[in-house]
Amino acid sequence: QSQVVESGGGFVQPGGSLRLSCVGSGFTLRNFAASWFRQVPGKEREAVSCISANGDNIKYADSVKGRFTISRNNARGTIYLQMNSLKPEDTALYFCGIDGPHYSTDTRATCNYNSMNQWGKGTQVTVAS
């Protein structure tokens, strides 16, 4: 059974860094657009960043611009989210969602919850002193 799997979450102090990874189990994410979302209890899942299948189109939420970087290694079929200068308000369960498959040259990056075909179970990020 194919699954999306996130990893890399953890506990970090304010100002620290973490790198999240998203891979496909049983399939490659190479031809999928992908998005990172996050959710805290009692709130809706919100988009953090998204990237097109070819990696050329990238979007960020205003709250993370300049601190987070999304990237992908299509040879490894992996999507990354580098998170720097973390703040307590970044604490959340982070999910990877995928949209596709598309042609490898596809430039769509929607950051749209309803466009995701499949989600991982999430990885917890906690930022606290």
With contact defined as beta carbons under 8 Å apart, do 15 and 75 qualify? no
With contact defined as beta carbons under 8 Å apart, do 80 and 71 qualify? yes
As a whole number of angstroms, the distance between CA 74 and CA 17 comes to: 23
Residue 104 has pLDDT above 90, yes or no: no
- In b/e form, how buried is each residue of 94-122, taking b as 16+ CB within 10 angstroms? bbbbbbbbeeeebeebbbeeebbebbbeb
Q: Which tokens belong to 25? A: 């189990």
Phi, psi of 90 (to 5 degrees): -85, -5
Q: What is the mean pLDDT of residues 42-51?
A: 96
Residue 129 has pLDDT above 90, yes or no: yes
pLDDT-based confidence at residue 1 (cuts at 50, 70, 90): confident
Residue 82 has pLDDT above 90, yes or no: yes
Amino acid at 57: N
Phi, psi of 89 (to 5 degrees): -70, -5
